[in-house]
Amino acid sequence: MKLKVFLTINLIGASGYLFAQTAPAADTTSVLITNKPALLQNVHMNVLLRSSLEIPDGDKQSSLRLNEARLEFMGTIVPDLDFRIRYRLNRSQAQRDLDNAPGSLDHASVNYKFGHQKKWSVNVGKQAAYVGNWEFETNPTYEYQYSEFVNYQTNLFLMGMRLGYQVNKNHGFFLQLHNTYNNSFKTTYTNAGYAADGLKGAKNPMGVYASWLGKLFDQKLHTFWSYDIAQYASGKTNHAVALGNKIVLKKLKGYLDLQWASMPVDYVNIASPSINKYQQGLNPAYTPGFARDINYKGAVLRLDYEFVPGWFITTKGIYETSSQTKDGSPLGKNFRENIGVLAGFEYKPIASQNMKLFGYYYNNQVKYRNVMADANERQRSSLFAVGMLYLVNAF
């Protein structure tokens, strides 16, 4: 029974330990090596692979690209004590100066279950942010294009300490103490090429996620909701709410993720470049820096439908906005919009293997409004891709 549970986690969860009861048991048949020493019976290795031919629009070059290459080890050596290690093979090994971990390391953590009926758990080490977002929680092998919320706004893999309580099979509550960012504030603004502008790093650049994972309506609706409070710049407190909602039906699966964030300092640097350009248009001597009082909102909808056995239609829509909440700001509400649309087909030729052939088209636009439209041009890009993905449970 333990073997089946751990394989289910490997196939579905991006951040780990969330989906032991949601994946179909049929997915556990793809193990390549079954004869293992007794000590390693509950230890597993996964290989996450996706490659494609990408044909962008305009004068950009087409290429064969390695989209995903991750190696993962996870398992249980003794009851109630689990570990997980995952590396991205196509990322830099350079370590970050705040958490002392390389950018290629997704996970390096230990999880311990304790208490009555083992309902309590504590997870310590490099781990995924417990942010309410199914786009991120989808195994990265299967997610072709990400929102800015996942790509830039959220520190996804961080050093943390997570305490959890599983009320029953349908509801769990979690608190995660985490580093706000993996680099120090000084390194972040230096890498961006900005002046400090009177800002300095917080003495304790950390935050706390409070999260609820629920399953409702006979486990057809899965919720992952979170609130985060954190500091990165001294005296500046960030607040963020993320509401992930997922439906799981026989032939249709999908999610709707909603997010809102208030950032006194835009250290994620999404809105700041366009604001700096606007300010320099007004005053060429203006010194670029991180924008202040930025509000981010977003919605991401994905639907996957198996219209005949083994054949899937996949669609995804992304809508995100940036606003400046400062009183009297000339930038206005939703001065920057990020819009993405994806549509594609997937074919799973071998029912027992987590391998698919795929093709999709993706279009992305970044628009500006009000005075920002005069200083910043609309950005458009599109991409056609065909390829193969394969999540291998090697042993």
**Which range among 14-18, 243-247, 369-373 has the greatest average pLDDT?**
243-247
H runs (alpha helix) in the chain: 2-12, 134-137, 148, 185-192, 272-282, 371-375
Residue 136 CA: distances (Å) to CA of 52, 131, 256, 315, 328: 21, 9, 12, 16, 35
Residue 30 clears pLDDT 60, i.e. is over it: no
- Tell which residue, 51, 92, 49, has the closest CA to residue 71: 49
C-alpha 312: how far from chain center: 23
The model's confidence at residue 134, banded by pLDDT at 50, 70 and 90, is very high
Residue 141 clears pLDDT 70, i.e. is over it: yes
Separation CA 160–CA 73 (nearest Å): 19
Helix, strand or coil for residue 260? strand
The model's confidence at residue 33, banded by pLDDT at 50, 70 and 90, is low
Residue 109 clears pLDDT 70, i.e. is over it: yes
Separation CA 209–CA 226 (nearest Å): 6
> Quick one: DSSP state of residue 267?
T
Separation CA 395–CA 383 (nearest Å): 35
Average pLDDT of the segment spanning 42-65: 94
Helix, strand or coil for residue 6? helix
> Could you tell me the pTM of the whole model?
0.89
The model's confidence at residue 53, banded by pLDDT at 50, 70 and 90, is very high
Separation CA 151–CA 154 (nearest Å): 7
Average pLDDT of the segment spanning 370-376: 92
Separation CA 123–CA 81 (nearest Å): 10
Structure tokens belonging to residue 209: 């996620």
How does pLDDT run across 150-181, given as a tens digit for each residue?
A: 999 999 999 999 999 999 999 999 999 999 99
pLDDT given for residue 9 in this prediction: 33
Average pLDDT of the segment spanning 59-65: 94
Residue 18 clears pLDDT 70, i.e. is over it: no
The model's confidence at residue 21, banded by pLDDT at 50, 70 and 90, is very low
One-letter identity of residue 41: Q
Percentage of the chain modeled with pLDDT above 70: 90
Partnered with residue 25 across adjacent β-strands are none
Residue 312 CA: distances (Å) to CA of 266, 344, 349, 358: 39, 8, 11, 9
What does the chain come to in residues?
395
The model's confidence at residue 97, banded by pLDDT at 50, 70 and 90, is very high
How many C-beta atoms lie closer than 10 Å to residue 91's C-beta? 14
- Tell which residue, 115, 119, 123, 122, has the closest CA to residue 166: 119
C-alpha 214: how far from chain center: 19
CA dihedral over 163, 167, 168, 169, signed as positive or negative: negative
pLDDT given for residue 370 in this prediction: 87
Separation CA 232–CA 236 (nearest Å): 7
The model's confidence at residue 40, banded by pLDDT at 50, 70 and 90, is confident
